Amino acid sequence: MTLRIIAGGANPALALKVADALGTGLVGAGIVRFPDGEIHVELAESVRGGDVYLLQPTTPPIAEHLHELLFLADAARRAGARRVTAVVPYFAYARQDRRATGREAVGGRVVADLLAAAHADRVVAVDLHETALEGFFPFPLEHLTSVPALADTLGALAPDREVVVAPDAGATKLAERYGRCLKLPVAFVHKRRVSGESVTTHGIAGDVRGRRALIVDDMISTAGTIAGAVAVLLEAGAAPDIVVAATHGLFVGPAVERLAPLPISRLVVTDTVGREPPPPLPGHVVSVAPLLATAIGCLHEERSLDRLILHA
Ligand code: R5P
């Protein structure tokens, strides 16, 4: 089976880096919008018998990018690809993994069903909000982690950190992972989500007084979570010199205004979403291209992914 990589429209720069690292080109794909808003997808060359990897994070506009991914999977399958893997470095709807309050859709499950209906054989994702999402798929989901790469960068860029902070209970395991990589103790913020855009915080567990903190999260969306954690840290007497690291930097809605006034000396994200940390924040971007390229190489050659995947 020949290795074929196809980029959707969400993050072509990342797809190109991955293809370069693997020494393959990208298979051309025409993705156009019809006048009524329909998406039309057509592959520009044959993928018959190929081992196809579709690289498409489902970043905003999420519905558009998700549809592109589904249509690319369908196009590849109908064009005779032998295996179709959806590489979705940022996987939207991962936060909708259960009914929290009642009459809600479980969005993560619906997206998993859509990918199966579009004939994907496998999904590769990076630092999912919820690891249990794997159970929604009727085929393998390979859950990669960028934590070692981010921790390496943080060790070099901010070697003076004294405590890792989880900004909510959901980030506890993630913070412990960073703590192990950086050999730092961990503290936890008590957060409650009020709405999609706002959160409240209720204190912190762990010793942060006088310490230089590193806040870690899987994603920054509106930055309410980070702003809440910074406020709690300052109230608890942490040093007003805070480093923030997250895998997925979406920076939507009020994120920029929320982050700008905070005493953040470094904001480190990966390029899963393809957005730079907004100026004037002192940002740094770590590419997940080497991680994705290594994972795709292993999958293509049927070698173990053990070193790259997230062990719960
Ligand atoms: C939720 O629990 C996630 O881990 C993030 O903390 C959250 O989604 C970030 O969203 P926002 O930046 O809008 O607070």
- Would you state the pLDDT for residue 309? 83
Dist. CA 173 → ligand 1 center (Å) = 15
Single-letter residue type at 288: V
147-286: same fold as 3-145+290-300? yes
- Would you state the pLDDT for residue 270? 98
Ligand 1 contact, 218 CB (< 6 A): yes
**CATH domain 3-145+290-300 topology:** Rossmann fold (3.40.50)
Query: Which atom of ligand 1 lies at the shortest distance from residue 228's CA?
Result: 14
Nearest in space to 157 (alpha carbons), one of 307, 309, 15, 277: 277
Tens of pLDDT, residues 260-275: 999 999 999 999 999 9
Ligand 1 contact, 222 CB (< 6 A): yes
Residue minimizing CA distance to atom 6 of ligand 1 = 225
The more confident residue out of 102 and 182 is: 182
Residue 137 DSSP code? -
Which top CATH class is 147-286? alpha beta
- Would you state the pLDDT for residue 70? 98
- Strand, helix or coil for residue 196: coil
Dist. CA 196 → ligand 1 center (Å) = 9
pLDDT band at 312 (very low <50, low <70, confident <90, very high): low
pTM (whole model) above 0.75: yes
Most distant CA atoms of the chain, gap in Å: 61
**Arithmetic mean of pLDDT, 186-215:** 87
pLDDT greater than 90 at residue 226? yes
Other C-beta atoms lying within 10 Å of the C-beta of residue 38: 10
pLDDT greater than 70 at residue 146? yes
Identify whether the C-beta of residue 122 lies closer than 8 Å to the C-beta of residue 140.
Answer: yes
Strand partners, 166: 188
Tokens 């903190």 correspond to what residue? Answer: 213
Q: Would you list the domain boundaries of the chain?
A: 3-145+290-300, 147-286
Q: Distance from first CA to last CA of the chain, Å, rounded?
A: 32
Distant-in-sequence, close-in-space partners of 302: CB < 8 Å, separation ≥ 6: none
Strand partners, 29: 43
pLDDT band at 198 (very low <50, low <70, confident <90, very high): confident
Nearest in space to 43 (alpha carbons), one of 26, 65, 28: 28
What sign does the CA torsion over 133, 308, 124, 272 have? positive
pLDDT band at 202 (very low <50, low <70, confident <90, very high): confident
**Arithmetic mean of pLDDT, 169-189:** 95
Ligand 1 contact, 171 CB (< 6 A): yes
d(CA 201, CA 218): 18
Query: Range with the lowest mean pLDDT among 45-54, 62-71, 182-191?
Result: 182-191
Q: Percent of the chain scored above 70 by pLDDT?
A: 99
d(CA 295, CA 306): 10
Single-letter residue type at 88: V
The more confident residue out of 165 and 306 is: 165
Residues classed as catalytic? 191
d(CA 271, CA 269): 7
Candidate of 189, 225, 267 to mutate for ligand 1, largest count of ligand atoms within 8 Å of Cβ: 225
**Arithmetic mean of pLDDT, 70-78:** 98
Candidate of 90, 190, 218 to mutate for ligand 1, largest count of ligand atoms within 8 Å of Cβ: 218
Tens of pLDDT, residues 7-35: 999 999 999 999 999 999 999 999 999 99
- Would you state the pLDDT for residue 7? 98
Query: Which atom of ligand 1 lies at the shortest distance from residue 225's CA?
Result: 14
Distant-in-sequence, close-in-space partners of 190: CB < 8 Å, separation ≥ 6: 168, 169, 201, 202, 203, 204, 205
- Would you state the pLDDT for residue 192? 79
Distant-in-sequence, close-in-space partners of 198: CB < 8 Å, separation ≥ 6: 224
Give the chain's count of helices (H) and strands (E).
Answer: 8, 15
Mean pLDDT over all residues of the chain? 95
Ligand 1 contact, 85 CB (< 6 A): no
**Arithmetic mean of pLDDT, 222-228:** 95
Ligand 1 contact, 174 CB (< 6 A): no
Residue 208 DSSP code? -
Ligand 1 contact, 168 CB (< 6 A): yes
d(CA 233, CA 212): 10
Ligand 1 contact, 254 CB (< 6 A): no
Tens of pLDDT, residues 113-138: 999 999 999 999 999 998 889 999 99
Q: Which phi and psi angles does 28 have, rounded to 5°?
A: -65, 140
